[in-house]
Amino acid sequence: MAYLVDFKDVSTEGFESSPVAQALAGLRANEARYLKNKFDHDLVLENASDAEGVIAWVHNILAEERDLHIASRPLQACVFEADGAKRAYVFYESGLSINVLYGLADGEKRAVGFKLSDGMEVPEELADKFKFARQKSKLAGTIRGSYFVIKSEY
């Protein structure tokens, strides 16, 4: 079932099993606000069971590019096109959010971004491989983020 993210009335819907549900909901709302302001795009997510193709694509990029395997269970995901790029989001039970920016034209930006919800520990699979910068958000509190550039084609 599709879920339209409302960044004005933050809800934990779909994230009830997360130990940082409120912070993860704030992170999701923060992403929705960014997409609406930047691209006039509404963030609509599906339950992980309905978005297996998107999750498999994201996990394949992680495995091929950096030999990364996310231990946490995905809860919601989506994929869409905006501004000449394929964009995917996956939100995990641990509080982790992964987004993929994949420019469709040759030479366009392609990257994977990681965001950690306020209050969660850095996942073991990311701890030794990435440094996380902090940013403040009215919706999500303190967000820690990192990224890497995608080198291959997917």
Q: Which pLDDT tens digit goes with each residue over 67-119?
A: 999 999 999 999 999 999 999 999 999 999 999 999 999 899 999 999 999 99
Place of tokens 């967000």: 143
The domain of 123 spans: 2-149
In a domain, 126, yes or no: yes
In a domain, 101, yes or no: yes
In a domain, 66, yes or no: yes
**CA 152 → CA 4, 41, 62, 119, 137, distances in Å?**
32, 27, 11, 33, 32
Q: Does the structure show a pLDDT above 80 at 1?
A: no
Per-residue DSSP letter, 130: -
What's the number of CA atoms in the CB half-sphere (13 Å) around residue 11?
A: 7
Name the average pLDDT for the chain: 95
Tokens describing residue 48: 């992980």
In a domain, 19, yes or no: yes
Q: Does the structure show a pLDDT above 90 at 150?
A: yes
Q: For residue 110, which amino acid is it?
A: R
Distance from C-alpha of 116 to C-alpha of 98, rounded to nearest angstrom: 9
In a domain, 13, yes or no: yes
Distance from C-alpha of 102 to C-alpha of 116, rounded to nearest angstrom: 21
Number of domains in the chain: 1
In a domain, 30, yes or no: yes
Sign, Cα dihedral of 71, 76, 77, 82: negative
The model carries a pTM of 0.95
Tokens describing residue 141: 């509190």
In a domain, 95, yes or no: yes
In a domain, 154, yes or no: no
